[in-house]
Amino acid sequence: MGGVIATQAAAQCPDLVAALVYVTAFAPRNGQSLLDLARLPEGAGDQVQVNMIVEGDPPVASMPVAASRDALYGSCSHDVAAGAGAIERQCPQAIAPFVTPVSIPPGMLAGIPVYYVLCLRDRAISPALQRRMSREIGCAEAFELETDHTPHLSMPRQLAAALDHFATRCVPVTRASDLPL
Give the model's pLDDT for residue 172.
56
How far is 32 from 108, CA to CA, in rounded Å? 16
Q: Which amino acid is located at 20 in the chain? A: L
Give the model's pLDDT for residue 69.
85
Question: Cis omega (within 30 of 0) on the bond before 58?
Answer: yes
Quick one: fold of 2-171?
Rossmann fold (3.40.50)
Give the model's pLDDT for residue 73.
87
Give the model's pLDDT for residue 61.
92
How far is 168 from 120, CA to CA, in rounded Å? 24
pLDDT in tens, the chain (181 residues): 899 999 999 999 999 999 999 999 999 999 999 999 999 999 999 999 899 999 999 999 998 888 888 889 889 888 887 765 677 778 888 998 899 999 999 999 998 999 999 999 999 999 999 999 999 999 999 999 999 999 999 999 999 999 999 998 875 544 445 445 4
Handedness of CA 132, 160, 154, 61 (dihedral sign): negative
Give the model's pLDDT for residue 181.
47
Pairing of β 141-145 and β 53-55: unpaired
Q: Delimit the domains of the chain by residue range.
A: 2-171
How far is 27 from 151, CA to CA, in rounded Å? 17
How far is 168 from 153, CA to CA, in rounded Å? 23
Pairing of β 114-119 and β 93-94: unpaired
Sheet containing 141-145: order of strands: 20-23, 114-119, 141-145
CB 121 within 8 A of CB 128: no
- Give the Cα-Cα-Cα angle 53, 147, 62 (nearest 5 degrees): 10
Give the model's pLDDT for residue 85.
63
Give the model's pLDDT for residue 170.
75
CB 109 within 8 A of CB 85: no
Closest CA to 3 of 38, 32, 28, 31: 28
Give the model's pLDDT for residue 171.
58
